[in-house]
Amino acid sequence: MTDARVPSRRRYLVCDPGHFDVRYAINPWMRPGRPVDLALAQRQWRTLVDVYRAHGHTVDSVKPVPGLPDMVFAANAAVVVGGRVLGSLFLAPERRPESVPYESWFKAEGFDVHRPESVCEGEGDLVPAGRWILAGTGFRTTRGAHAEAQEFFGVPVIGLTLVDPYFYHLDTALFALDEENIAYYPEAFSPGSREVLARLYPDAVTATREDAVAFGLNSVSDGRHVFVSPGATALAARLAERGYVPVPVDLSEFHKAGGGIKCCTQEIRS
C-alpha cells in the first residue's frame, strides 16, 4: 500500500526563531517566565527545514523581527490558494504586528495580498483540503473570516467549531493528509462539527487525546510523507497502516508556546 502514496513537491514559507520566547499567555500552553532554550529551538527548527529540503520541497524564509516572539509560527500569517493570498488579522494585540512583515514578503514575491476585515489567523484556522477549505472557529478566527475566504478564493468553506481551549486553532486538531483525506482528533470539535467531518471523511485517520496533546495533529503531509511529532506514536502507527510514511521531527521547544511543525510552516499553493 505504501507505494501507492505519491508525494507532491511543496513550497513552504518559514521564519527563523531567532526572537522566539514566551512573553505572554494567549493559549493554555503558554506560561510566561517558563524558560525557553533558544539554542535548542533553533536546532529543532533547522532540522525541520533540512528535512523538508531532503524530501524535495522548496523552503523560503521571512526575516524575523525583534519584539515579535511568535513570528516563527508562519502558518498563522496567511493562507495561500491558487496563488492568491489572504492575510491575517490576529485576535491578540501582541501578534497583530506580525502581519506586516509577512505581507511585505508576499508582495516582494509578486503576490497580491488581501487584508481580511474579520479576525483571521491564516492556516491556523483555514486548512485547504482538496475541494474545499476547512475552517475553524470558536477561539480565534471568526465566521466572518470564513465568509471572506469563500468570497476571496471562490472555494467552498466548511465551518467547524472548536470546543477545547488546548486546541485553539484548527491546525492543532486536524491536518490534510492529501486531496481526499484528513487526520483529526474528534473530541476537539462540537458534536455537529464531528458529524460533518464523519460525513465528509468516513475514512479519516482519527487520533487520541494523547496524540493530540503531543501535537500530532499539528503535522504537515506531502501526500506520502507525514512530518509528525515523535510523541504521537499511536497516530504514526495508524498513518503507516494506511500507507503513509511518518517522518518524526521534534519541535518540542515550540510546544511551550502552543505550536509545532505545522504552526512553523506556511504552504504556498500556486
Q: Which residues are catalytic?
A: 169, 263
Q: Which of 220, 181, 192 is nearest to 51 (CA)?
A: 220
Angstrom CA distances, 76 to 71, 125, 150, 215, stand at 9, 8, 18, 16
Please tell me the distance from the alpha carbon of residue 3 to that of residue 49, in angstroms, as a whole number: 25
| Total number of residues shown for the chain | 270
Type of residue at 6: V
Q: Which of 173, 128, 130 is nearest to 27 (CA)?
A: 173
C-alpha cell at 190: 462540537
